[in-house]
Chains A and B, each alone.
Chain A
Amino acid sequence: MINELDKYPINGFYDESVNDDGMPRESSKQLFDALSSLSIDNFKELKTNADKTIAQMGISFTIYSDKGNIDRLWPFDIFPRIISSDDWSDISIGLKQRLKALNMFIEDVYNEQAIFKAGIIPEEVILSSKDYRPECKGMKLKHTSWASVCGSDLVRAGDGEVYVLEDNLRVPSGVSYMLENRAVMKQVMPEVFQDINIMPVDQYPANLLSMLRSLSPNDDPNPEVVVLTPGIFNSAYYEHAYLAHEMGAELVEGSDLIVKEDDCVYMRNVDGLKKVDVIYRRIDDAFLDPEVFNKDSTLGVAGLMRAWRSGNVGIANAPGCGVADDKVVYSYVPDMIRFYLNEEPLVQNVPSYLCSVEKDREYVLAHLNELVVKPANESGGYGLLIGPHASEEELAEFHELILENPRNYIAQPTLKLSTVPTLCEDGLEPRHVDLRPFILQGAMSYVTAGGLTRVALTKGSLVVNSSQGGGSKDTWIVRS
């Protein structure tokens, strides 16, 4: 196996496991040692076992039809992504700092708006965001926990530095795959877990539960916490069920809940109605409450906003928190950290050009073929322009789009995403990765040990989204 590294291409990208001289990095040495006795064929057998385990556990995306589900199994690569614990401890402090500032910002937006008055962020940038919800004005939340669960996407660039690519504050998903990936790896390579000091990830559901309990609006020592799912047709349903199961919380659909005239939320139980204290909602704002938002929504609960505004139920993530999950707002996060915390940001932003700012826009339009252009509030890698790979038509199309609606676009330099050795047909090859850690903020803050590493399985591809041909890897935070 170690001989495999002779053939491993060093091609100018930062590799998470292999140094520029072709030797294992410090944090990956033990893994390469442990694998030294394996041939590539042995390694492929492990991969087959992993796939079998994944099928049996039923870890899948589901495309639904009543004649049998088209289950697409979760694509998984068995070579882990390794980060040293020293590295990680700096990053996780930075992530907590970032979420704390974001939460203070959201509360400020819906209350005093000090950051506008201080001239740090232009007011119109926020008020024109499609995720700004005037219905949230005047709300102050326990522990300032608006974005109670945050999934930030991190990348390591060619310079070896880690950058935040975006903050997912609305209903971030993927954490169950992080946990399942670990379970699969323990099944497939139990030996390495004995020899290598890998930080555990399994405490996440317990931490999530204690965070959610800390959002309860009353002092009942046993608040009723529920997970609100859009239902079995949602592609993340698997995760909703997984988390409810691990927390021992009820998994509810909108139709299971009811808001009575006392503005409290109840669930329909076999023995009648039972009061609900905290809702971990996994549906978008727009569908949350047909009384206030999308009138046609059958997924939500009529009156939920009333109950929340009256302080009778805690909702995570809070309605309206998406206002800070916007790629334009993103570019101001370092300023927020300085403004609210009087600290320097510990994890950096990717430099961004705001098309709404004239100087930036001119630069972007002149350099379209070098930049990545992103719509301000789409997720899942849709509507992207990757300049260096784009056709003339696509470049022209984005030129138009930006001129039509500059507020809706930002641009960033094309990042040289780091790579991790990945098992391919002919052995190990470098493939590009990102990392989504999950950060919780309630009575206390918590960051997962690592997170979900997503990998672009196609050679040369930078797109890691599972909806577009990406896979994932187990992520190891290794103590030396």
Chain B
Amino acid sequence: MLSRVAERVYWLSRYVERVENTARLARVHAQLMFDLPKSAKLGWYALVEITSTEDYFESHYDARTEKNVMTMLLADRNNSVSLMSSLWWARENTRTTREILPREAWIHINELYLMVKEHQESFKTRRERNNLLDKIIKSCQAWSGMLASTMSQNETYRFMKLGMAIERADMTSRSLDVGGLFAAQDGQSDSDFQYDSILWANLLKSVSAYFMYRQHYQTEIMGQDVVDFLMHDFEFARSVRYCLNTMHTMASKLPNNHAVTHSIEELVSSMDNSTDFEVGSSDLHDYLDELQADLSEIHSKFYSIWFNPVTVV
């Protein structure tokens, strides 16, 4: 398989995953905002923080309103991580790798892109926005399912799974970080505390972990358990641990994989040896920061080994 093509399909599935995650995040966050009292500290701006786009937001928008945040997160083509940008790149990467993908892969993404582009105005009003986001989420799910059932489990598929898994791990860790930050905020009044469980429930929903979490823990939703579940669960497909396992399985069947699999193993064992973090402590934030840095390090190894190795003539 060509290095350039491997890089493109890797990004392609990362972008599709990002489209789905962003849609889910926007959808769930709006639900949460309707439940929280006006006095709650968590605002629309948390979405900007989760996606690390604070600088961009501050220089392009004035007030931290729902409309501004949603526009930046979903529709703004100048924001490189907006849903529209991710979808555009997903489509470009599919368009330029269509020769190795099932034909439906292109048709499906192209249709989704054309549909969202046509209905972009819907991002501006709550009701229509929710309907559109639901459609986008469904479409991304159908896309993954279609590929899983039509593609051979070949190199192309492995690079796609690799992209999907690393994007998921990254997104899950970001969501956890914001939950932790909220819980850590000083001066929370008692009335905020009763909303704690609402916050964590929504956080679970934003990574579609709510039902699986419910089946796993039959008690009230505790921040500590949520962190544990999303970090370490072996069976839930969006936990960081599960994503790392997927990455390891995929990488181990790719050529010259030693440096990559070794880094993943190191990351897994450091997770196993980490102590429980107290929710609300700065330790969790630091730890998640480090995790994201490790993921980024693994990502750059993909480049030095598979996507852009040095060739001697």
Interface residues of A (CB under 8 A from B): 55-58, 67-68, 227, 232, 237, 241-242, 244-245, 249-253, 255-256, 258, 260-261, 267-273
Contacts and interface: CB of A to CB of B under 8 A. Distances in A.
Given A245-B98, A245-B100, A268 B3 contact: yes
A67 B98 CA distance: 21
Contacts of A268: 2-4, 309, 311
Contact of B255 (A241, A252, A258, A272): A272
B1 A245 contact: no
B95 interface: yes
A270 B254 contact: yes
Q: Which 9 A-B pairs have the closest CB atoms?
A: A271-B255, A244-B99, A245-B99, A58-B110, A270-B306, A251-B99, A241-B99, A270-B6, A268-B3
B119 to A, nearest CB: 15
Contacts of B255: 270-272
Contacts of B114: 55-56
Contacts of B100: 245, 250-251
A267 B1 CA distance: 9
Contacts, number: 74
A176 B92 CA distance: 20
Given A57-B107, A241-B99, A245-B98, A256 B313 contact: no
A255 B4 contact: yes
Contacts of B111: 56
Contact of A245 (B3, B4, B103, B313): B103
A260 B4 contact: no
A421 B311 CA distance: 57
A232 B93 CA distance: 10
5 contacts: A56-B107, A232-B95, A269-B2, A270-B306, A270-B307
Contacts of A273: 311
A268 B255 CA distance: 13
Given A232-B92, A258-B311, 8 more contacts: A58-B106, A241-B96, A241-B98, A253-B4, A256-B4, A258-B313, A270-B155, A270-B306
B256 A232 contact: no
A58 B98 CA distance: 11
Interface in B48-68: none
B135 interface: no
Interface residues of B, number: 31
A269 B3 contact: yes
Contact of A267 (B2, B92, B110, B306): B2
A384 B123 CA distance: 49
A288 to B, nearest CB: 19
B232 interface: no
A103 B309 CA distance: 41
Contacts of A256: 2-4
A255 B96 CA distance: 15
A68 B75 CA distance: 13
A242 B99 CA distance: 6
A56 B110 CA distance: 7
Interface string B12-30: 0000000000000000000
Interface string B145-181: 0000000000100010000000000000000000000
B300 to A, nearest CB: 16
Contacts of B159: 270
Most chain B Cβ neighbours within 10 Å, of A58, A253, A258, A273: A58
A270 B311 contact: no
A56 B255 CA distance: 36
A270 B10 CA distance: 12
Contacts of B44: none
Nearest to A57: B107
Contact of A68 (B1, B77, B106): B77
B268 to A, nearest CB: 24
Contacts of B103: 245
Contact of B313 (A67, A227, A260, A272): A260
Contacts of B3: 256, 268-270
B88 interface: yes
Contacts of B311: 258, 268, 273
Interface string B234-272: 000000000000000000001110000000000000000
B1 A270 contact: yes
B305 to A, nearest CB: 8
Nearest to A231: B96
Nearest to A252: B2
Contact of B107 (A58, A255, A272): A58
B252 to A, nearest CB: 14
A172 B209 CA distance: 53
A247 to B, nearest CB: 9
Most chain B Cβ neighbours within 10 Å, of A57, A241, A270, A272: A270
Contacts of B155: 270
Contacts of A242: 98-99
A57 B109 CA distance: 10
A242 B117 CA distance: 25
B313 to A, nearest CB: 6
B256 A271 contact: yes
A68 B107 contact: no
Contacts of B4: 253, 255-256, 268
Given A255-B4, A271-B256, A261 B313 contact: yes
A241 B111 CA distance: 18
A45 to B, nearest CB: 20
Contacts of B92: 232
A91 B130 CA distance: 59
Interface in B266-313: 306-307, 309, 311, 313
Interface in B94-133: 95-96, 98-100, 103, 106-107, 110-111, 114, 117
A267 B309 CA distance: 13
A64 to B, nearest CB: 10
Contact of B95 (A58, A255, A258, A270): A58
A134 to B, nearest CB: 27
Nearest to B3: A268
A267 B254 CA distance: 18
Contacts of B96: 232, 237, 241
A67 B95 contact: no
A2 to B, nearest CB: 36
Most chain A Cβ neighbours within 10 Å, of B99, B114, B254, B307: B99
Contacts of A232: 92, 95-96
Contacts of B95: 58, 232, 241
Contacts of A261: 313
A245 B100 CA distance: 6
A58 to B, nearest CB: 4
Contacts of A58: 95, 106-107, 110
